[in-house]
């Protein structure tokens, strides 16, 4: 007779193990390579995503283009290639290998080269066409560029290297972690770029504002489209190189075309799928790729051009992410990615608590958007109290992640920066991304959440062709509609990434989280806070430093500067809450001794 489990359609639930999760990742990647598909693979940290991508490539003999924004990921990839016997080549960048891009090398630094690169001219073209570039006749960057791209098993580079088709052809692309900055160009002053372009061509428009106000049934508009039909959407690198120190950009022809042909979405933002509209008017869009999208923010008068590489000419695409937002990955890559998650939500809970060995403790049930602190949401007094409590409770100082503004401006101004007395290493939401120092740190505090502002959410909505708008509510009641909420959740998910930066060696780790911005499935518990006022912190600090010697009220007042009456009151409160022991049987006055168990 068969057991019930044997004939059940669903196998019995087994909690995940680290070895089991890593085997799942390997099996998934093997299937993706063999299927030549375009897949976004979701797996939480320590699951071995990068490791498995290289390991399975060696077993399946799959040539790779491995792309990562962070240097430590590229270095790890090189080490994995060596481990698995894969030949590899790291594609050079001018900022790393050309002395003309090294500001510290005043003998060779060339601001023209740096400015030209920023304004859309590639490193190779700069060396070929910029007169008297100061890197000298023997540039290491050019030497390192001189290789056969088909020879190595694995090419390792920045995401921007995917713009060269010879690096894509015949290879499976692996992109490690989500990033979009390499594929997106922001024009904070598009008026200057467009005005400069109009001075060099004959489009019958005089200025940025003139193009912005263009009417589609105007003869000038028809003439402009005819001009583009003759000249195309080219990259104007010549004008950049002729005056490299001016505010101009090689994408100026495309920017002007988007301004001319863009359409309003309904919330003020404008959008143009560039290649689609160029095809409609018979215009050669050689200056951008097939999935390029240009959008305009009318409030800030800023334009953005998202120009994904031609990933579709590769043998396949594998995106690796611990907490992905599939809609953003699809837009940023221009691919219809299939999303695969290695773990179900209930398995993720056990993975975080039992495999990664994390205990997550909430100290607040509000979102606390510290990154976009326009309304004074950073609560320095309360945060100082919480950190003091954590320090006293745990007996050590936690690693600390919060916003740059909080670290640089808000916290230093409160009580002479007292908060930093209770933290080990502070990192902000930006510089923690390339920091690995918390991997073996087993106590952490993440305060506040990311919020890049409503324009960021509207921008991604515009990329998707959605007119995103807020319901104007605050906190957890705020909504941006179906698509906009996906972007809002993406920002909140970064809190989990921050939490999981601690304790990546699977040793017991406690992370306190001062925000509600966590996915619903994340296992967490509420903190039972006992917060001390400023005077109470002074008294507690003195008694803890005195150890078994303790202190009497007069001594406490003298050493801390707290008034005697208040010192007595705070010492009594500490005794009532179990932090200190009060000894009443002394001849002249009671003494208070810090309880070391606390």
**What CA–CA distance (Å, rounded) separates 550 from 543?**
6
Question: What is the model's pLDDT at position 377?
Answer: 81
Q: 10-27, pLDDT tens digit by residue?
A: 666 688 999 999 999 999
In terms of Cβ atoms closer than 10 Å to its own Cβ (0-12, 13-18, 19+), residue 210 is middle
Q: How far is CA 268 from CA 271, 424, 528, in A?
A: 10, 46, 46
Query: For the CA atoms of the chain, what is the radius of gyration?
Result: 29
Query: Of 526, 547, 569, which residue sits at a domain end?
Result: 526
Considering the domain architecture, whether residues 522 and 544 belong to the same structural domain is answered as no
Residue 509 pairs with which residues in a beta bridge?
Answer: 358
**What CA–CA distance (Å, rounded) separates 451 from 489?**
10
Question: What is the model's pLDDT at position 250?
Answer: 97
Considering the domain architecture, whether residues 377 and 517 belong to the same structural domain is answered as yes
Structural domain for 93, as ranges: 19-180+310-341
**What CA–CA distance (Å, rounded) separates 67 from 177?**
9
Query: Of 526, 550, 585, which residue sits at a domain end?
Result: 526
**What CA–CA distance (Å, rounded) separates 511 from 204?**
61
The reply to whether 211 falls in a domain is yes
Residue 362 pairs with which residues in a beta bridge?
Answer: 513, 526
Considering the domain architecture, whether residues 407 and 488 belong to the same structural domain is answered as yes
Considering the domain architecture, whether residues 93 and 41 belong to the same structural domain is answered as yes
Considering the domain architecture, whether residues 435 and 514 belong to the same structural domain is answered as yes
Q: What is the CATH number of the domain that holds 149?
A: 3.40.50.300
Considering the domain architecture, whether residues 358 and 277 belong to the same structural domain is answered as no
Q: 441-474, pLDDT tens digit by residue?
A: 999 999 999 989 899 999 999 999 999 999 988 8
Any idea which residue has 């990068």 for tokens?
Answer: 50
Host H or E run for residue 526: strand 525-526
The reply to whether 222 falls in a domain is yes
Question: What is the model's pLDDT at position 216?
Answer: 85
Minimal CA–CA distance to 90: which of 72, 104, 114?
72
As for how many domains the chain has, the answer is 4
Considering the domain architecture, whether residues 404 and 514 belong to the same structural domain is answered as yes
Considering the domain architecture, whether residues 23 and 148 belong to the same structural domain is answered as yes
Considering the domain architecture, whether residues 499 and 563 belong to the same structural domain is answered as no
This prediction has a pTM of 0.90
Considering the domain architecture, whether residues 64 and 148 belong to the same structural domain is answered as yes
Question: What is the model's pLDDT at position 426?
Answer: 97
The reply to whether 419 falls in a domain is yes
Question: What is the model's pLDDT at position 586?
Answer: 64
Considering the domain architecture, whether residues 132 and 239 belong to the same structural domain is answered as no
**What CA–CA distance (Å, rounded) separates 199 from 136?**
34
Q: Residue ranges of the chain with pLDDT lower than 70?
A: 1-13, 373-376, 586-590, 597-598
Q: What is the CATH number of the domain that holds 548?
A: 1.10.10.10
Question: What is the model's pLDDT at position 59?
Answer: 98
């Amino acid at each position: 007779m068969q057991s019930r489990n044997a004939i059940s359609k669903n196998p019995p639930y087994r909690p995940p193990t680290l070895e089991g999760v890593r085997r799942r990742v390997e099996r998934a990647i093997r299937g993706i390579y063999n299927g030549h598909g375009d897949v976004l693979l979701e797996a939480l940290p320590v699951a071995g995503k990068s490791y498995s991508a290289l390991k399975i490539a060696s077993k399946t003999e799959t040539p790779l283009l491995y792309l990562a924004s962070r240097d430590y990921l590229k270095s790890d990839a090189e080490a994995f290639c060596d481990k698995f016997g894969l030949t590899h080549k790291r594609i050079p960048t001018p900022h790393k290998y050309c002395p003309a891009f090294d500001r510290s090398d005043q003998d060779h630094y060339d601001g023209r080269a740096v400015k030209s690169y920023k304004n859309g001219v590639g490193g190779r073209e700069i060396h070929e066409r910029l007169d008297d570039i100061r890197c000298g006749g023997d540039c290491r960057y050019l030497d390192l560029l001189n290789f056969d791209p088909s020879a190595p098993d694995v090419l390792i580079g920045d995401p921007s290297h995917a713009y060269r088709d010879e690096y894509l052809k015949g290879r499976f692309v692996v992109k490690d972690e989500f990033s979009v900055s390499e594929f997106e160009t922001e024009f904070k002053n598009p008026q200057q770029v467009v005005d400069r372009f109009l001075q060099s061509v004959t489009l019958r428009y005089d200025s940025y504002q003139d193009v912005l106000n263009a009417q589609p049934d105007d003869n000038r508009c028809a003439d402009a489209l005819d001009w583009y039909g003759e000249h195309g959407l080219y990259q104007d690198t010549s004008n950049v190189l002729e005056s490299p120190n001016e505010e101009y950009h090689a994408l100026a022809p495309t920017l002007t075309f988007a301004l001319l042909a863009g359409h309003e979405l309904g919330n003020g933002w404008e959008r143009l799928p560039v290649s689609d509209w160029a095809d409609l008017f018979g215009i050669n869009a050689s200056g951008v790729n097939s999935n390029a999208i240009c959008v305009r923010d009318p409030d800030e008068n800023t334009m953005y051009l998202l120009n994904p590489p031609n990933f579709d000419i590769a043998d396949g695409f594998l995106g690796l992410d611990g907490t992905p937002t599939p809609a953003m990955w699809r837009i940023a890559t221009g691919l219809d990615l299939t999303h695969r998650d290695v773990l179900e939500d209930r398995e993720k809970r056990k993975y975080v608590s039992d495999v990664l060995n994390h205990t997550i403790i909430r100290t607040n049930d509000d979102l606390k958007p510290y990154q976009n602190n326009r309304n004074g949401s950073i609560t320095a007094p309360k945060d100082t109290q919480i950190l003091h409590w954590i320090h006293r409770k745990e007996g050590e100082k936690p690693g600390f992640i919060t916003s740059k503004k909080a670290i640089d401006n808000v916290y230093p101004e409160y009580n002479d920066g007292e908060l930093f007395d209770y933290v080990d290493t502070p990192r902000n939401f930006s510089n923690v991304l390339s920091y690995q120092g918390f991997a073996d740190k087993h106590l952490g505090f993440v305060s506040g959440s990311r919020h890049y502002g409503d324009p960021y959410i509207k921008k991604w909505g515009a990329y998707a062709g959605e007119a995103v708008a807020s319901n104007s509510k605050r906190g957890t009641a705020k909504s941006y509609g179906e698509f906009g909420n996906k972007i809002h959740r993406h920002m909140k998910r970064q809190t989990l990434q921050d939490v999981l930066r601690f304790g990546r060696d699977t040793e017991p780790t406690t992370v306190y989280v001062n925000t509600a911005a966590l996915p619903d499935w994340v296992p967490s518990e509420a903190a039972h806070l006992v917060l001390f006022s400023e005077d109470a912190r002074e008294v507690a600090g003195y008694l803890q430093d005195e150890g078994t010697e303790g202190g009497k009220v007069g001594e406490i007042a003298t050493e801390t500067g707290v008034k005697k009456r208040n010192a007595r009151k705070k010492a009594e409160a500490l005794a009532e809450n179990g932090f200190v022991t009060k000894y009443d049987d002394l001849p002249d006055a009671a003494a208070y001794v810090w309880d070391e168990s606390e």
